Amino acid sequence: MTIGIGDPLPSAKLTRITSDGLEPVDSATFFKGRRVALFAVPGAFTPTCSARHLPGFVEKTEALRAKGIDEIACTAVNDPFVLGAWSKQNGAEGITMLADGNADFASAIGLDMDGTAFGMGRRSQRYAMVVDDGVVAALYVEAPGEFRVSSAEHLLDTL
């Protein structure tokens, strides 16, 4: 079942890379007590993700914060080292990269997809959501092959 507006985010294991190394992150704990803009991409270094999705959030970071977003986070079914390199290459220091290496989080919220036809295995669908104190306040899931409603610009317009 796909998560919806008003649903609490489940507990799933994510990982982020820090200057001290790998840090496990529990999704339910991460989103508690603040307002987070979360966006998901099918994969770091993939064309739309690298050319449009991540750069849009990098560009709109301050505007999103001005609208009451406490943190901006990105998740992808990649390992934390790949997400760290992608973040560094794109100047995305203001965005928390949450690696979902085994697609545990994407599966737990019902937004995983089968990318095996493209040699990508299980991946996350492309989406953006606003999470208020661990509860989904807004959710925008892209149709396959689309990039509109999960953009930073669209999210900003809806806040």
Which tens digit of pLDDT belongs to each residue from 65-84? Answer: 999 999 999 999 999 999 99
Q: Is residue 5 part of a domain?
A: no
Q: Which of 9-13, 28-32, 111-115, 132-136 has the lowest mean pLDDT?
A: 111-115
One-letter amino acid of 20: D
Contacts of 157 (CB under 8 A, 6+ apart): none
Q: Which residues are catalytic?
A: 49
Cβ count near 35 (within 10 Å)? 18
pLDDT at 135 over 90: yes
Q: Where are the beta strands (DSSP E) in the chain?
A: 13-18, 21-26, 35-41, 71-76, 96-99, 112-114, 122-124, 127-132, 135-141
User: What is the rounded average pLDDT for all residues in the chain?
Assistant: 94
Is residue 8 assigned to a domain?
no
Q: Is residue 1 part of a domain?
A: no
* pLDDT per position as a tens digit, 20-42: 999 999 999 999 999 999 999 99
pLDDT score of 32: 97
Cα–Cα distances (Å) from 41 to 1, 64, 89, 133, 139, in that order, read: 20, 19, 16, 22, 14
Q: What local confidence, expressed as pLDDT, does residue 51 receive?
A: 81
The predicted model scores a pTM of 0.95
Residue 57 belongs to a domain: yes
Question: Residue 100's domain is classified under what CATH number?
Answer: 3.40.30.10
Could you list the residue range(s) of the whole structural domain that residue 104 is in? 13-158
> How many separate domains does the chain show?
1
Residue 7 lies in a domain: no
108 has pLDDT over 80: yes
The predicted structure's pLDDT at residue 25: 97
Give me 112's structure tokens: 């995983």
Beta bridge partners of 104: none
